[in-house]
Structure 1
Amino acid sequence: MSEIVMRSRDDTSALRGLLLATDFTKPKKIVIKDLDRSSDQNRLLHAMLTDIANQVEHAGKKWDVLIWKRLLTAAWLREAGENPQFVPSLDGRGVDVIYERTSKLTVKQCASLLEWITAFAAEHQVRMTAKDHWGGRYDQ
C-alpha cells in the first residue's frame, strides 16, 4: 500500500509517478482524504488535558485525562452544532455517550478542538504548561 501526502498541486507529479508505476491487473482503491491530526497536535492536546485534569474540578470532582477528553470533546461537538449520541447502556444501568474519537479528527477539526480547549482553560484560570510552538495556529 502506498500513501502520498499532498500539500499543494505541485505534489501531483509524485502521484502521477505512483499511478504510472502501479500494476492495475487487480483493482485498486484510491482514496483522497484530509490528514488526521498531527503528532504535534496530539502532544499538545494531551498536555492541555493533563493541565486541566490537574487544576479543574467538575461536579465536585477531579477527573482524569480520559474523562476530561470525553467531556471537552462532547462540549466542543455540541457548540459546533454536532451532537454526541446518548445510547441506553447494554446492561440497562444508565446511558453511554458515543462521541467523536479524537484520533480520527482531521488536522482542521483538531485545530478547532484545541482552540476550544484553550478558551475553556482560560475561562477556568488553568495555568498551561505546554509550550505553544505555533503562536495559536494549530492547523499546521
Structure 2
Amino acid sequence: MKQLFQLSHPVARRNAANAVMQAEDGHMVEIKPRTRSLDQNAMLHALFTEASKNATWQGRKLTPMQWKVLFISGHNIATGNGADMIPGLESEYVNIRESSAQMSIPRMTSLIEYINAWLANNVVAS
C-alpha cells in the first residue's frame, strides 16, 4: 500500500515516522519538495494556449505544446540552468528539457512569471 504524507505539522511528521517504522523490509522512502499544484498546472496550460492564439515565433504560429517546449527551454536558460542539446535518433537536435510535471512549486511559479513577462513584452494587445 502506497502512503503519502505532507510534512506540514508535527502530527503529519509523527504519522510519517510511524509508517516508516512499520514498513516491511524492502520498502522505500522518498522525501522531496512538493511538485506543482493543480492550479499552477491549469495556469501553465492556459498560458501555452494564449501564446498559441496571440503570438508567433520566427514568423510561425505554434501549438500550445510547441510553446511549452520553447518556454521551458527559455526559462531554463534565463535561470542559469543551461540547455542539454543532444543529437536525436534521426540526426536532428533535441533539447532534453526539464519536466514541468516534476517542478517544485517555487520553480513553477518562476516559469509562470517568465511566461507572463514574455507575453507582456511580445504580444501586442488588441
Shorter-chain TM-score range: 0.7 to 0.9
The unaligned stretches of length 5 or more in structure 2 are: none
> 1:52–1:126: 8 Å Cα contact kept in structure 2?
no
**Counterpart for residue 107 of structure 1:** 105
Deviation by residue 1:36-83 (Cα, 9 ceiling, x = unmatched)? 111111000000110111000110110000010000110000011112
CA shift at 1:19, angstroms? 3.5
Instruction: Identify the residue that residue 11 of structure 1 maps to in structure 2.
Output: 12
1:91 partnered with 2:90: yes
The runs of 5 or more residues in structure 1 that have no matched partner are: 128-140
Amino acid at match of 1:53: S
SS of equivalent residue, structure 1 residue 32: coil
Change (3 A) 1:53 1:19: same
Return 3-12 or 42-51, whichever deviates more. 3-12
Mark the CA change 1:23 to 1:71 in structure 2 (over 3 Å): closer, same or farther. Answer: closer
TM-score by length of 2: 0.88
**1:5 CA drift (Å):** 1.2
Paired position in structure 2 for 1:136: none
Shift in alpha-carbon separation, 1:90–1:8, aligned structure 2, 3 A = same
Selected match of 2:118 from 108, 117, 120: 120
Correspondence for 1:72: 71
Q: Percent identity?
A: 23
Question: Structure 1-normalised TM-score?
Answer: 0.80
Displacement of 1:28 after TM fit?
A: 2.5
How far apart, in 2, do the equivalents of 1:126 and 1:5 lie?
A: 42
Hey, what's the Cα distance between the residues in 2 that align with 1:101 and 1:35?
14
Q: Partners of 1:49 and 1:60 in 2: how far apart?
A: 17
What residue in structure 2 maps to residue 2 of structure 1?
Answer: 3
Provide the rounded CA distance (Å) in 2 between the counterparts of 1:58 and 1:89: 23
